[in-house]
Amino acid sequence: MKTPDWVKHAVFYQIYPDRFARGAGMVHERGLRFQPWGADPAEQGYQGGDLYGVIDKLDYLKTLGVNALYLNPIFSSASNHRYHTFDYLQVDPLLGGNDALRALLEQAHHRGIKVILDGVFNHASRGFWAFHHILENGGDSPYVDWFMINDWPLRPYHSDETQPPNYEAWWNLPALPKFNIKNPGVRDYLLKVARFWLEFGIDGWRLDVPEEIDDVPFWQAFRRVVKEVNPQAYICGEIWGHAGDWLQGDRFDATMNYTFAWSAMSFIGAASLRRDYIKEHMPLTPLSVSEYRQVVERMLSWYSDEVNQAQLNLLDSHDTARALWIMGEDKPSLALCVLLQMTMPGAPCIYYGDEVGVSGADDPYCREAYPWHEPALQDHALLTTYQSLTRLRHAHPVLRLGSVSFIEADNPELLIFKRELGADKALVVVNRTRELQTVNLPAAEYQNYMQEWPATHSSGAIGNQRRLTLAPQQGVVLVLAPHLFDETLYPGLTKVAAEGNKIKGAGEH
């Protein structure tokens, strides 16, 4: 099993295109009408974000530490989320069309930023050309076996719980007819789509509800096509739990790691979790230090290091409430969760706007517009924290590739784990409590560790112990013999000498 090397060093940023940014270079046909930017997302209309808007914000994303983008669906669709695809070979004109994607890929790649797209291959839309052909021709359509028809005439618009669609549809939603993957024409078409966009220049696929396509040979063929075009292309499946069978080298490289998400929030946000938020596959309930350790150790034991380092470690997404909302608007808890994202194995993924404090309940409220139009709604202190943590991850390979082991200490309230990569070592200490906490570490082992994050900290020696003092809801990252780094890459970094409280500037080594 070999996963793409670049993913192990990536910090992803997930973008919901209609709600991220309107591009200055976007020219729409005359006569179109969009909702105002920042309108209530429950209205489900179009607010006019496009791919040129993403291009305009690439430099902002670079300063955030992002070097990979995951875009929610961008193909032609009659829904703002675009999971109702009607043309898989055309970027939605409202997003700028194929030319806009080509421009985005050129500008992103120029900045060293990869781009993966959302592939929705389990179902299409009732506007998809082959399904439309069936609607017009009934059983006489040559495409009748591309879908699974149960009765005639079809009910694409007049279905409800008592009279469900008379064709197979995702969650019985008439707008989403399921493909008949057993049909060789359907398989050929979907594999052609996968190949087309990889040859166009994208860097991989995130695959929507792949478990609903219960067809191992199809996914094996999908992987062969993807890796034939680009052996370093990333294949990430939306599987919310254990996915062992999918990650054996013949299908996916990784999954969206929702286990990381719910366990981090359940541990860090234990005191502030919303008890009224119930989400399938996300058992959000307070976890103790030992319980959290057990979840993480089990999660890491599921897969090889090669897979764990490529997992997409998210906190929230378009399919969940915002992490900040889930944790009761507790920003220090959000920051500590991001610390775990940046110091544990797997590629961190930031959902657009989280870095400035965007909050909201489950779909559709988690799909609001990025508040470019309201600077007062942007938490710049939180943004600075995100930036410092992504810089920390980029600065130290041990935080991306090192092994993980949990440390027993004299303070059971603290989570402590070590990353090791050859001679490089990092120690992460997390105080999720609302009280000051101290921990004593053996000086013989930890006296030469120097603090890399945050910039200021209380550290001292007591006998043969090194004592760390952590403020409420604070984390500390110590690194042994860190490599020299470029100050332009990691400005303002300070180190704390292990022997006391002397703070040294980033240029002093």
Spatial neighbors of 378 by CB under 8 A, at least 6 apart, are 356, 357, 371
CA dist., res. 170 & res. 122, Å (int)? 8
The catalytic residue among 18, 203, 238, 354 is 238
At 266, the amino acid letter reads S
Spatial neighbors of 406 by CB under 8 A, at least 6 apart, are 293, 296, 297, 415, 416, 417, 418
Give CA separation, 61 vs 65, 252, 282, 454, in Å. Answer: 7, 27, 29, 22
Q: What does DSSP say about strands 347-351 and 12-15: parallel, antiparallel, or unpaired? A: parallel
Spatial neighbors of 33 by CB under 8 A, at least 6 apart, are none
Sole residue written with tokens 């007062």: 376
Mind spelling out the 3-state secondary structure of 63-90? HHCCCEEEECCCEEECCCCCCCEEEEEE
Q: Say whether 208 is catalytic.
A: yes
Q: Say whether 420 is catalytic.
A: no
Give the count of beta carbons closer than 10 Å to the beta carbon of residue 499.
13
3-state SS, residue 9: helix
The catalytic residue among 50, 56, 92, 208 is 208
Q: Where are any strands of DSSP class E within 261-386?
A: 312-314, 347-351
Residue 184: what are its φ and ψ, rounded to 5°? Answer: -60, -30
Residue 256: what are its φ and ψ, rounded to 5°? Answer: -70, 120
CA dist., res. 465 & res. 273, Å (int)? 36
Sole residue written with tokens 């403020």: 471
CB distance 250 to 256 below 8 Å: no
Provide the annotated active-site residues: 208, 238
